[in-house]
Amino acid sequence: MMTLAEVRAFLDREFPQIAANARYTVEEVLPRGARLRAAYHESQIRPGGTISGPTMMALADLSLYVTVLAAIGPVALAVTTNLNINFLRRPAPRDLISESRLLKLGNRLAVGEVTIFSEGEEEPVAHVTGTYSLPPR
């Protein structure tokens, strides 16, 4: 399993656009799971005063990617093949927190889920499932 420091270093090296954005932070890496934060910014607000769906989808996708990386090691070519999101309630205009976990880790596919919360809220704002294609090892 990759450590938090190893995951952060890998993302900084392979995906400098994430670090340049400075909105997404990997806070914790767990066995078969991770916790990330998307820092709130007013540019994420859509008409109606809620955080946009693309903001939540990006957080979920990155969360699953980090979870897969932590489990299989630094493999840049693991790619999303499916992402399904259910928006459950309006997220408050504050940081978003994702909690992800792997449901299945096979030789060619990894399946996981992500629950997204508005910081300080107990009820989730979105539930996401996704599948990653893994390159041959």
CA distance 38 to 22: 9
Which of 97 and 49 is assigned the larger pLDDT? 97
pLDDT at 87: 97
* Overall domain count for the chain: 1
Q: Which CATH number characterizes residue 20's domain?
A: 3.10.129.10
Q: What is the pLDDT of residues 35-80, one digit of tens each?
A: 999 999 888 888 888 899 999 999 999 999 999 999 999 988 999 9
Contact in structure between 59 and 116 (CB atoms under 8 Å): yes
Q: What is the pLDDT of residues 9-39, one digit of tens each?
A: 999 999 888 877 778 999 999 999 999 999 9
pTM for the model stands at 0.93
pLDDT at 65: 96
Domain limits at 55? 4-133
User: Which residues, at least 6 apart from 101, have a Cβ–Cβ distance to it below 8 Å?
Assistant: 30, 32, 33, 67, 112, 113
